[in-house]
Amino acid sequence: MSAETAVFSATGRRKTATARVRLVEGTGKLVANGRNFESYFSHENFAKQAYSPLLTVEMREKFDITVNVTGGGISGQAGAVAHGIARALQKFNPELRAALKKAGHITRDPREKERKKAGQPGARKRFQFSKR
């Protein structure tokens, strides 16, 4: 049998997207839902946003990362992946927390879509008022 490798897992969330992240020491392979990060996240900015916590702590080539991400759109999923990677890195080494926190990767973005209200066309929009 092969030697046991440490696996650090965490969950990241943003809007309605949820990402389950597995961090294993390796060569820098990034996989999201069975596909390469660059092909899964259609635009390169989303892929960069997703692995930005690794760049912050300068460990881009040190870990193999596998992500299962569901819900939301591509932007929310990229944010959820970044949040999950940051939390997994913190489990790997608690001393990285200060750098990750300063860069804003640890804090979950609390913004959610506001629900539509009854008697109006959207959450805030009102139907046109007519006095007569």
Judge whether 110 lies within some domain.
Answer: no
User: Is residue 28, in this structure, part of any structural domain at all?
Assistant: yes
Tell me if 51 is assigned to some domain: yes
Residue 59 lies in a domain: yes
Mean pLDDT of 49-70: 93
Q: What separation in angstroms does the CA of 49 have from each of 43, 56, 120?
A: 10, 11, 36
User: Has residue 103 got a pLDDT over 70?
Assistant: yes
If you average pLDDT over residues 78-91, what whole number do you get?
95
The answer to the question of residue 95 being in a domain is yes
Mean pLDDT, range 84-105, rounded to an integer: 94
CATH number for position 12? 3.30.230.10
DSSP line for the chain: -PPP--EEEEEEEETTEEEEEEEEESS--EEETTEEHHHHSSSHHHHHHHTHHHHHTT-TTTEEEEEEEESS-HHHHHHHHHHHHHHHHHHH-GGGHHHHHHTT-SS-----PPPPPTTSSSSS--PPP---
Q: Could you tell me if residue 55 is inside a domain?
A: yes
Residue 3 binned pLDDT confidence (cut-offs 50, 70, 90): low
Structural domain span for residue 47: 7-102
Total tally of structural domains belonging to the chain: 1
Is pLDDT of 40 > 60? yes
Q: In whole numbers, what is the pLDDT of the chain averaged over residues?
A: 92
Which band of pLDDT confidence, cut at 50, 70 and 90, is reported for residue 132? confident
* Residue 116, in any domain of the structure: no
Q: What is the pLDDT of residue 1?
A: 47
Q: Is residue 57 part of a domain?
A: yes
Residue 29 has pLDDT above 80, yes or no: yes
Provide the pLDDT for residue 5.
80
